[in-house]
Structures are given as structure tokens and as C-alpha cells.
Amino acid sequence: MVPLWQRPPRAVYLHVPFCRRRCGYCNFTLVAGRSDLIQPYLDSIALEMAAYDDLPCQVDTIFLGGGTPSQVRDDHWRQLAAMLHRNFPLSADGEWSVEVNPEDVDRGYLEQLRTDGVTRVSLGVQSLSDDKLRTLEREHTGQQARDAIQLAIDIMDTVSADLIFAAPNETLSRWKDDLASVIDLGVDHISTYGLTFEQGAAFWSQRGKGLLKTVGEELELDMYLLAIESLIGAGFEHYEISNFARPGNRCRHNECYWTGATYHAIGPGAARHLKGRRETNHRSTTEYLRRLQEGRSPVAESDEADDRERALEVLVFGLRRIDGVDRDWFLANTGFNLDDLGGQALQEYRGEGWLQDDGRRIALSRRGLVISDSLWGRLLAS
Amino acid sequence: MQLVGLIWPCNGLNRRLSENLNRRDGLNLTSIPTKNIRNFCIIAHIDHGKSTLADRMLESTGTVENRNQKTQLLDDMELERARGITIKARAVAMKYRLGETTYELNLIDTPGHVDFQYEVSRSMACCEGALLVVDAFQGVEAQTVANTYAAVDQELTILPVINKIDLQNARVDEIIAEIEQTLGIDGTEAMPVSAKTGVGIDDLLTTIIERVPAPVGDPDGPLQAMVFDSHYDAYRGVITYVRVINGRLRRGEKIRFLRGGSTHELMEVGQFRPQQIACDELSAGQVGYVICNIKSLSQVHVGDTIGTVKHSAEPLTGYKEPNRMVYCGLYPSDGQDFSELRDALNKLAINDPSFEFEPETSDALGFGFRCGFLGLLHMEIVQQRLEQESSVDLVQTAPNVTYEIALTTGKVLEIHKPQDVPNVGDIEEFRQPIVRVNFVLPVEYIGSTIKLCQDRRGIRQGTEYLSPTRAMLTYDLPLAEVIYDLHDKLKSATRGYGTMDYELLGYFPADLVKLDMLVNGKCVDALSVICHRADADRRGRAVAKKLKSEIERHMFEVAVQAAIGSRVIARETVPALRKNVTAKCYGGDISRKKKLWAKQREGKKRMKSIGKVDIPQKAFMAVLDTGQE
Ligand SMILES: Nc1nc2c(ncn2[C@@H]2O[C@H](COP(=O)(O)OP(=O)(O)O)[C@@H](O)[C@H]2O)c(=O)[nH]1
Ligand code: SF4
Ligand SMILES: [Mg+2]
């Protein structure tokens, strides 16, 4: 048996680091207001791709994340698409996702994406309420978001919407409205994130100075539970902690992260998993560009675990999936017996009711789900 | 008392240097008659200029050149410099010509901190005179008073010196009045000097010769030499500081520590000038060092008497065992490091016999050591050295003082940790150490200082006015109350102007109880404290609250209780964690998340588990929270 982490990659992630300006809560790898860097960026990713000796490499999924990939348009887009076609030809029936911001959406752009092979757009909706969007310092309005969703549903195979909850001052009923509206609009997939305060984001220091009122743990929990309830009620499958899909519309690319598969990654801050090694490119866009222009490696961090650690990783990330982890699948794909590996921690979590176990597979219970970040540390230390 | 490995630069190079010097003029020193010797110390409050003045005298006497010396020759331990205090007692011999006569002036530096009272008394016992240095602006402070009392006890001739007269705001006349008022010393004798500019230093040296009595002692009598300090030299073993009272110490002769009982051959005798300079003998009245191939400081006791092996004289009076007043538990943060910690403690104890340790176990903390110190400063010094010299991560329990318990059986126990307190039914009397504290402060802070003392069950002993604006307040207080935070509290209550010093009066009965802390029903032994019954409620509430804030939320509720025996007096609850899930998780997150979890795991290692509850290490100091403002 070849374990998961030694198999050839069937996926590629491309990081596109451009945004008009930085949203208050965001600490992602990006440059704001630097569209002048798009061409140097395209030149650099071409250099990065040229450096891999296993390209072209046929893949089943492509994911363009950001930043804001929809900032790359027209001729720039054509260069990018051509590069991907050349280096990462998509298998028949493959999935190609692009993150798109509502304010960038127009018919021409989406049709171009579709023509070039994109199958799925993930819209950075975040909310349909103008107030909340303003609080989050987003560039679009509620109406723009609605229009974008409708147009995308019209043109693309699959449409996903990202929603944020627990924004400052948000109430449960406002959140309920957001959920209802997005469901009504008919998206196929929803990712929903509780707002976090990250070092490096403007909100972090604003909260530190007492300028932002956070919603509090209880309400945030209620919002999360409400999302699960409403979406399941509307026919979505809750398939990962923060992801919901209508049947047949799960994001296959994201699934490969959670099942421990290998994948290529290109661009600043991009993280790859190849031959059992996890590597992350330099997070500074300018440093990334400089390194490639100077013929140096863009890799900033690299981490090679032993097989046992890798298997534990597969277990932990696998448990983020609501379906959980199947014992036979686990043995067949990692070479480790799940119960031997997770030992005491698993037993204890089962005892506490944080894990369900039907004998074949283990999965988080609802109680375990909401405190799951407290479970992983112990489990990884097994 | 020995805290410093190397005091003077006495490595190989300097040794060779000193041997050369010795050949040149070493013999001269021994030819000085007793009547031409003056032994004195300098006593002063912190920062009043003791070290600077010593430097100037070393220069004026030509003992060191007017040099590229680092200032303050007498404090070279880093910690001392950082805190501006003198911990180590030491001595230096200077030669000074007055008229036709050459005098030997021995300056003995005394520790300035109350933890080392005994060492101060032994150093003073080697002197006939004391320079009482008072800052021309600051005036008399608490340590000025305490040190002067100690000098008076030793019947030293006290020469008042007003230092820093170069300061623009010097108020010499007022200070003279303060000295007369508080210390009962004739102010007309006060000598104005500036240790900074050198003004008055020659006059001071002359006055020392004129006013400090020469030692009395018979060079031909039976040998008696007082050990007043020692330190460990990596090359030469123990170097013992002595003052010869009667008789002679000669190289090559056999001597005996009259209290310690061990016998040795004198391999070298000499003086610090300030380098070690060997000579053939030290005779009655002289101050110097001896080296006799002793490998551990634990064999040399401050206050012991050196005599001859054959017809020994009586040991000198005033000898005491080190008096450990403060104890705490030291545990390796990682249980694996136990033997490494033991080795580190052993090494420290070789250099510092006043520090003691013995293994102990705690349900909460595992295997560690109960360590005894002369006082809180001593504790800090030892800990700091441990941290510098070993890589062991330490968990420290809150310090406690020594208690005495008289049992109903008539037996008396010395208690070094709260866990050792016997059942209430077996206790006849519970006694705690009481100290007399002198506070010197501007009069406007008398009220706030009185409140501090009353809150701590102090008994007022008197108030004296040093001047219309400054007063000295005397209180008897439990040592336990003093060591925890009184100094800090005094500083904030007096905007930094108040100073304090204290001396131990003895053990006195008090209504004391053992206060236990329970975490989810389990008593955490390392968190127990001894406190006054009337304070137990307040302390219990404060500690419970503090623990609540230190303990992270778990996936279940954590109850923190304070109890006396089986009676719970305070309770706090750490609510169960209801939500801990960050929803976002994309490709790059995997590496980041792994790092985060690895960090959590490391953090967990540094926690101690009581049942299923993880308690962070710093929570073990939470019991210091007294609940007082
Ligand atoms: N202006 C002035 N400053 C002095 C004088 N003597 C000492 N100092 C300063 O006072 C501070 C404390 O001196 P130090 O000798 O360390 O005091 P110690 O703590 O008593 O040993 C140092 O900053 C010295 O430079 C003096 O005569 N005049
Ligand atoms: S949240 Fe999205 S759009 Fe806003 S700055 Fe971050 S990456 Fe750009
Ligand atoms: Mg000093």
C-alpha cells in the first residue's frame, strides 16, 4: 500500500494575492491596491511552475484563492488560464474553482471564466446586509451581492457563497436573515465562518483598544448552531465544520485537504503537500516576486513529519469532516490502525460524548463539534 | 555568607601577579605594629555612597591607581550592580602614611541587607570603628538607623560622614540635626565629604587614624582568629576571611576551626590589596585571608574561631548557625529534570552554605525540593543563579516563613511548609516569627504607613521625629506579612520616600490556621498556606479568585475552593468551555494549525495536572495574593 502522503498529487492551489484594499478582519497573504504587480506576479508564477520537474501534471481539481482572484482580468486572466492549461491540465469531469468578489462580477467576466474551463465560483458575499458589510469594511453592497449570486447561478455550474457571522454588533435575527436570503437565492454551496480576530488585521488592534464590540461566545455559538440547523433544514449537507453543500455539490478540492491528499501549490503564501512534506511559500508578495526573479526558491517553511505524525494529521483533519473517519479507509490509506494510533485520547473523547462511534467509523458529535479545537492538541500528541 | 564565586579577580594570572608583588613588599605588611592598625567598616543606607567612598579611599591611599578602574570596586556581582546593593562582605588592606608613621587601614565591607544581619554582625565584630555615611540630601534612612544600632551593639566608635556635599541641594546642617536627633551621635564630629569629587577624603583618613581605636590583642597570646566570611575559588578552594584577635597565623602551621572541629594546614596567608597578596603571617589586629585546601564552603562557618591544634584558646562568642527564615518549594517544570535540578542545587550549596535544601514530594508538583533561605532577597539571588547556571525550568511555590508549633505532647516542631502542620487537635500553641520594623518617612505619609501596619496586625512601638518633616515609625509585625509585599506597599504608600528595615524579635503565639485550596474537590498540597484566622476568609477569597483567573476554561466546570479543615470558606467556578471551533480551514492552514497545536502541547507540558484539571505553573504563586489593597 502506498500511503496517502506518498501518492502523486491530483490537485493544485494557486494563490492570487491582489485586493483593492484590505478588509478590517483580514490578515491573509495579499497586497492591497497594487495592480501594478499583477504582471510581475504572472511572470513569477510562470517561473515557479517551470521549476517543478513533474509538470505538466494532470489534476482533478484546481482552486484559485486569494486575495481576490477576480482582480486578474482580461489579458492577465488569459495568461493565467493558459499557464494553468499548460501545466495543470484538468481531467474530464474536473473541478475548477475561482474565488470571486461580488463587486468584480459581470456577465462578460463570468462567461470568460466558463469558456476557459472554470466550473465553480466561490463568491465572497459575507453578508447581504449593507450595515454588516460596512462593519466588515467590504467593498460591495447587499444588492451587488444578490446580483452577483443570481448572475453566477445563471452562468456557472456550481456557485458557493462565503458568509461571515459574529461580526461586531450582529444579532441572531440579523444572522438569520442573511442565512435565509442566501438559501433563497439558490446557491449550491455555503461556507460560513465565525469572525476571528487575527494578529495583523486592523480589527485586532481595534478590539484591543476597545473600539470593537465582539458578540460574545454564547451568541457566537448560537449563531453557529443556527447556521447548521437552517442549512440542514433547507436541504444542505453539513459535510465539514464550516462547509455545507446541496447533494453532489461538495467542494472536491477542499475535501482533498481534509482527507490528507497531496497537492501542488503556487504563489505567495501558498502551502503544498508533496511526497510527505508540507511547504509554505514566503507570505510576502514582494519577497516572493524577488526570490523568483532572482532564481531563488520561494519556500519559506518546510516540515517533514514521520509516518505516525502524518497519520495523526490525517485523523485530525479527517475528523473535521462530519462523516468522520472510517476505520478500514484509514488503515488502507495510512497503514495505521486508527484505535492504536489515537489510543487514550479517542477513548476518553468517546467516553465524554465528544465522539460518536458506530464500530466502523468515528465522528464528532454535536457537542464535540463545538469544542473541537480543544480536542486536536491532545490527539496529535498521542 | 557566600554568594559569589569569584570576588576579586583571583584567577591564575592574578595569582602569578600577586606572587610577584609578594616578593617585592609582602614582608613589609607583617612588620606593622598593632598600634598602627585601624579596622573599620562603612555603614550606610543604599545609594548613600558607601561603594564610591570606598573607591576614593583606595585611591587616596594608593592601594589602587587612579585608574581605569570600573567604578565601585567593591560590588562586582551583577545582581548587586543591578539592584545597587552590597551583598558580599569583604575586606581590603590599605597603607597610609601620616607624619613619620605608616598605618594599615583595613576596610571591611558589610552586606547592606537585612537578610544578612548575622553576617553584618560578624563583620562588625572584626572592627573597632564604623564610618556612618549619610547622604547630604536624603538624610537618615531606615538602614542608616538599623546599621547604626548594630554598630552601637558591637561597641564600635562611630564617625559620622556626610557624603555628597557637592550636591546643590545638600542640606548639611539639617542632616547633622537628624543624626543627633535619631542616632544620639554628636553631630559636631560629622565630616563633610564628597566621594565623587574627593573633597574631604584625606581629612577623613586622618580622622580614622586619630579616632578609631587601635586593636587590642596580644600577638604573642594563644591564637584566636574570627572567620567573618569566605568564598570559593575554582582554582584554590575555599578562601577564608579572618580577623586575628590574638596570636599569629603563620603559613605552614596547623590550625583548627574551633566550632567546626576540622584541622588544616595553612597553605597561604595574606591580605587583599585589593588583589590577594600572600605574606608570612598575620598577627593580632590584622585582617586578611587564609587558604588551607578546603574544597567546600560548608566546612567553613561564618563566626567560627580559628585556633591552634595543640593548646587551643576558647572560641570567640557570638557564633550562630545560619538562620533560615524563608522557605519555598522548587520543582522542575518537567519531572524528567529532577536529578539535573538536584545537581544544580548541590553546586549552589557548595558556594552558599546558608542556603539549604531537601527533597520533598508534592501530589501536585511531583518530586522537588524544599529550600531554605536567610530571607526573600537571598531566595531571589539563589533562584536567579539557578536560572543562570542550569537549564532547568522551575516551578516555585509561594514562599513561607518558618513557624513553631508546640504539640500537646510538649514537643516543639519547626514547620517549613504548610503541609507539615499537624492536626488542630495536636496543637498546643502555634507560633510565628515577629520582627521589629523601623520605617523612616516624610511626616505626611505617617497615616498611610500606620494603616499598612495595622492591616497587617502590627503593634506600634513608637514614633520619633527626626526633623520637622521626617519621622521614624516603629512597629512589631509578623515576618510573614513583611516579606510578602510590605516593601512594595510601603514604596507606593509613600511615593517611594519611605524606607524600612527590620530585625527578628523571636517566635510568638498567634491564632494561625492552615488554609487549603481545592480544585474540583482535590486538595492541592502545594497551594496550602498558613495565615491568621481572621485573615483566612479574605485570603481564601482572594486566592480562589486569582486561581480562577489563572486556570483556563476546560471542557468541564472547574470548582476552586478555599477551606480550613473541612470547612469551605470560598468558592469560585471556572465555567466549562462551550465553544472552541475556528471554522476556517484551507490548505495553508494545515501547517499553521499544526504549529498552533504543537504550541498548545508545549504549554500543556508546562502545566501541572490535578485530576483532569491543568493548572499553569504561575498559579502556584497565586497564594501570595493577600486580598489586601
Ligand atoms: N553627587 C555625588 N554623587 C555621589 C557621591 N557619592 C556617591 N554618589 C553617587 O551615588 C550613587 C550611589 O553610590 P554608591 O557608592 O553605589 O552607594 P552605596 O549603595 O552606598 O554603595 C552613585 O550613583 C554614585 O555615583 C558624591 O559624593 N556626590
Ligand atoms: S477578506 Fe478577502 S477581499 Fe478582503 S482583504 Fe482579505 S482577501 Fe481581500
Ligand atoms: Mg554599593
Residues in chain A within 8 Å Cβ distance of B582: 194, 196, 373
DSSP string, B445-505: GHHHHHHHHHHTT-EEEEEEESSSSEEEEEEEEEHHHIIIIIHHHHHHHTTT--EEEEEEE
The cell numbers describing B613, all together, are 484539571
Is the Cβ–Cβ distance between B419 and B397 less than 8 Å? no
pLDDT of residue B209: 97
pLDDT at A105 over 90: yes
pLDDT at B416: 92
Asked whether A100 lines ligand 2 (CB < 6 A), one says no
pLDDT of residue B626: 61
In this structure, are B423 and B560 located in the same domain? Answer: no
Residues 6+ apart with CB under 8 A from B475: B436, B437, B439, B453, B458, B459, B460, B461
C-alpha to C-alpha distance for B232 and A134, rounded to whole angstroms: 71
**What digits encode the pLDDT tens for the residues B489-513?**
898 899 888 888 888 899 999 999 9
Q: Which residues pair with B160 in a beta bridge?
A: B132
Q: Which pLDDT score is estimated for B111? A: 75
The pLDDT value recorded for residue B2 is 28
User: Is the CB of residue B162 less than 8 Å from the CB of residue B193?
Assistant: yes
Place of cell 548639611: B172
Looking at the complex, report in whole angstroms how far the Cα of residue A276 sits from the nearest Cα belonging to chain B: 13
In terms of domains, do B427 and B502 share one? Answer: yes
**At which of B258, B282, B308 does a domain end?**
B308
Kindly state whether residue B219 falls inside one of the protein's structural domains: no
The CATH number for B229's domain is 2.40.30.10
Interchain contact B602–A (C-beta under 8 A): no
- Residue where a domain stops, chosen among B162, B190, B211: B211
Phi, psi for residue B384 in degrees, rounded to 5: -60, -40
CATH number of the domain bearing residue B604: 3.30.70.2570
Task: Quickly state the pLDDT bin for B313 (edges 50, 70, 90).
Answer: confident
CATH at residue B381 = 3.30.70.870
User: In degrees to the nearest 10, what's the CA dihedral of B196, B199, B204, B206?
Assistant: 140
Nearest CB to B587 within list A271, A301, A352? A271
Phi, psi of A156 (to 5 degrees): -95, 160
**Is the distance from the beta carbon of residue A124 to the nearest atom of ligand 2 less than 6 Å?**
yes
Judge whether B567 is closer than 8 Å to chain A, CB to CB.
Answer: no
pLDDT at A173 over 70: yes
- Rounded mean pLDDT of B59-88? 54
Out of A373-377, B36-40, B126-130, B447-451, pick the least confident.
Answer: A373-377
| Domain count of the fold of chain B | 5
Confidence check: pLDDT of B76 > 70: no
With a CB cutoff of 8 Å and minimum separation 6, the contacts of B540 are B515, B562, B563, B564, B569, B570
Instruction: State phi, psi for A187 to the nearest 5 degrees.
Output: -70, 160
| Contact A269/B at CB under 8 A | yes
Size of interface A-B (CB pairs under 8 A): 95
In a domain, B564, yes or no: yes
Does residue B88 sit in the same domain as residue B193? yes
In chain A, what residues touch B580 (CB-CB under 8 Å)? 370-374
d(CA A278, CA B462): 73
- Flag whether residue A351 sits within 8 Å of chain B, measured between CB atoms: no
* CB < 8 Å to A65, chain B: 586
Structural domains present in chain A: 4-258 (3.80.30.20), 323-380 (no CATH)
> Is B132's pLDDT higher than 70?
yes
Question: Do residues B414 and B362 both lie within one domain?
Answer: no
- Give the bridge partners for B44, in sequence order: B133
Does any domain span residue B319?
A: no
Residue B388 phi, psi (nearest 5) = -70, -35
For residue B431, tell me if it sits in a domain: yes
Q: Is residue B205 part of a domain?
A: yes
Judged by CB atoms closer than 8 Å, whether chains meet at A370 and B593 is answered as: no
Q: Are residues B187 and B46 in the same domain?
A: yes
* CATH number, domain containing residue B203: 3.40.50.300
Q: pLDDT, tens digit, for every residue of A242-265?
A: 999 999 999 999 999 999 999 999
pLDDT, tens only, B367-389:
999 999 988 888 888 888 888 88
Residues B416 and B533 in one domain: no
pLDDT in tens, A187-232: 999 999 999 888 878 888 888 888 888 888 889 999 999 999 999 9
- The residue whose CA has the least distance to atom 12 of ligand 1 is B47
Class of residue A174 by CB neighbours under 10 A (exposed 0-12, middle 13-18, buried 19+): middle
**What range defines the domain where residue B430 resides?**
404-510
Are residue B440 and residue B299 in the same domain, yes or no? no
Q: Compute the average pLDDT of residues B440-451.
A: 95
Cis before A67? omega within 30: yes
d(CA B562, CA A199): 38
Predicted-complex ipTM score: 0.76
Under DSSP, the state recorded for A22 is -
Q: Under a CB-based contact definition with an 8 Å cutoff, are residues B193 and B131 in contact?
A: no
CB contact under 8 A, A192 and B587: no
Residues B233 and B294 in one domain: yes
Q: Considering B169, B187, B211, which residue would you say is the last residue of a domain?
A: B211
Q: Identify the residue with better confidence: A235 or B355.
A: A235
In the predicted model, what is the mean pLDDT of residues B242-255?
Answer: 95
The better pLDDT of the pair B355, B85 is held by B355
pLDDT at position A119, please? Answer: 98
Of B577, B580, B583, the CB nearest to A192: B583
Residue pLDDT, tens place only, B577-619: 888 887 665 555 677 777 777 777 666 666 777 778 888 877 8
Q: Say if residue B28's pLDDT is above 90.
A: no
Residue range A283-311, pLDDT digits in tens: 899 999 999 999 999 999 998 889 999 99
In a domain, B218, yes or no: no
Q: Tell me the CATH number at B455.
A: 3.30.70.240
Looking at the fold, whether B389 and B425 belong to one and the same domain comes out as no
Indicate the residue type of B329.
Answer: G
Q: What is the pLDDT of residues B397-424, one digit of tens each?
A: 888 999 999 999 999 999 999 989 998 8
pLDDT tens, residue by residue, B524-577: 988 899 999 998 998 899 889 989 988 988 888 999 999 998 899 999 999 988
Task: pLDDT band for B66, please (50, 70, 90 cuts).
Answer: low
Tell me, what's the pLDDT at B6?
24
| pTM of the model as a whole | 0.65
Sequence-separated (6 or more) residues with CB below 8 Å from residue A50: none
Counting Cβ atoms within 10 Å, is residue A153 exposed (0-12), middle (13-18) or buried (19+)? middle
* Residues linked to residue A65 through DSSP beta bridges, in sequence order: A15
Residue A126 CA: which ligand 2 atom is closest? Answer: 1
* Structure confidence by residue, pLDDT tens digits, A106-145: 999 999 999 999 999 999 999 999 999 999 999 999 999 9
Query: Binning pLDDT at 50, 70 and 90, where does residue B79 land?
Result: very low
Q: B24 in a domain, yes or no?
A: no
B174-222 residue pLDDT tens: 999 999 988 888 888 899 999 999 999 999 999 999 999 999 999 999 9
Q: Judge whether B318 lies within some domain.
A: no
The pLDDT of B38-49, averaged and rounded, is 93
In the prediction, which pLDDT does B599 show?
73
Task: Tell me which amino acid residue B524 is.
Answer: V
- Check whether residue B40 and residue B102 sit in a common domain: yes
Q: Is the pLDDT of residue B18 over 70?
A: no
B521 and B506 part of one domain:
no
**Ligand 1 atom closest to Cα of residue B44:** 20
Cβ of A30 below 6 Å from ligand 2: yes
User: B396 with B497, same domain?
Assistant: no
The average confidence (pLDDT) of chain A is: 94
- Mean pLDDT across the stretch A6-35? 91
